[in-house]
Structure 1
């Protein structure tokens, strides 16, 4: 599971995270909801060891990311883009990522099949569409068959069929017992997939609970969000 405990972080003079605390549990999709600039990506970067907090802890399966010996076997992450060099083919990129974590090369074909890119393995990443790049990033996240998935705006660039596929894929991952943390500002999409919701606004957690608890008393998750934040999009 994922445990974030009282994480605070400054960037220059600006306080961008204020005592952020929440959990994401196995077998459930946790939606991490907030408008652009609310602190979602900053929280994920602390969680994945890319940034250090001024205080607090971020644990994945009980350990900081930096203490994971072969991190891809514990957590798969999709942040901005695919992470692939534009001149590399998808297959070459994934083979390099697999080798960096001591994973067998056979996993490359397997994950390309899962995300629907097997026919484009020899295409250079620079020729991929935005949606294809997101699928390639997801393939890299799956290489180690991790128990935790952390995904930042995973449907960005996907067409309607791709969005539907991603929704079904993530529900299946949770059904298999994995912890799925899905960061997004798309409230309708989150409402269709999330078991639990964490709302962040201006670097602070406003509420967390099941989807029903967070939307309680409101017709939609969108209505609940605007009531909580007192803001318009």
Structure 2
């Protein structure tokens, strides 16, 4: 369970998040949708303790991320890149991450197989393509077999077969009763994957609900998004 409650943040003199509130529930894929610069990554960084909010709370399983013991066993996260040093091999990176959280070394080969990197385990991260880096980042997120998965633009760099694989994988995780929060600016992909949708624009949550509720009478999620962001703003103003 992920709970974001009235999170606000200012960077310099610019307000980038305005009382952002939503939930991501177990057994469901929650899509966090918005254009580049809308506040998606800033919200996730607050949730993961990488940035400090000016107000509000961001909790995973009822606790702040920094208060979690052995966090990889509770939360798996993929933000920018793989997180691996360019000179390290995929296997060396995963072994180091596993040791940092007291996880068995056997888990490394398991997650390499899950994400399809077994054949590239000895390749240095600096030689990875963007898609391979995303897979290595996902392998890191899966090391502790976490109940919560937080992914920021996970399909960037993936080819069509990789996108289909990612979609199936996320649906399977949710079917196991786990919480999946997926941020993206690709509306078509979210429509194929998400159960629930949170739309954010210019640092404000415009609407949240089930995919059917958010789409409403519109033909597609993309149509609904553009209608919402064009007409919804505080005090009735246009964006």
| TM-score interval, normalised by the smaller of the two chains | over 0.9
- SS of the residue 2:81 aligns to: coil
- 2:131 counterpart of 1:131: yes
TM-score by length of 2: 0.96
Per-residue deviation at 1:115? 0.3
- 2:181 counterpart of 1:181: yes
Equivalence for 1:59: 59
Between the aligned partners of 2:70 and 2:43, the Cα distance in structure 1 is 22
Deviation per residue, 1:175-222 (Å, 9 max, x gap): 011100000000000000000000000000010000000000100000
Alignment map for 1:61-100 (pairs within 5 Å): 61-100=61-100
Aligned positions, number: 231
- 2:228 counterpart of 1:228: yes
Q: Which runs of 4+ in 1 moved over 6 A?
A: none
Equivalence for 2:213: 213
Equivalence for 2:106: 106
Equivalence for 2:46: 46
TM-score by length of 1: 0.98
Gaps of 5+ in 2: 232-239
- 2:133 counterpart of 1:116: no
Per-residue deviation at 1:20? 0.3
Between the aligned partners of 2:221 and 2:47, the Cα distance in structure 1 is 26
Between the aligned partners of 2:150 and 2:26, the Cα distance in structure 1 is 12
Per-residue deviation at 1:69? 1.1
Deviation per residue, 1:34-67 (Å, 9 max, x gap): 0000000000000000001000000000000000
- SS of the residue 1:43 aligns to: helix
Between the aligned partners of 1:52 and 1:101, the Cα distance in structure 2 is 24
Alignment map for 1:148-227 (pairs within 5 Å): 148-227=148-227
Between the aligned partners of 1:106 and 1:208, the Cα distance in structure 2 is 40
Question: Over aligned residues, Cα RMSD in angstroms?
Answer: 0.6
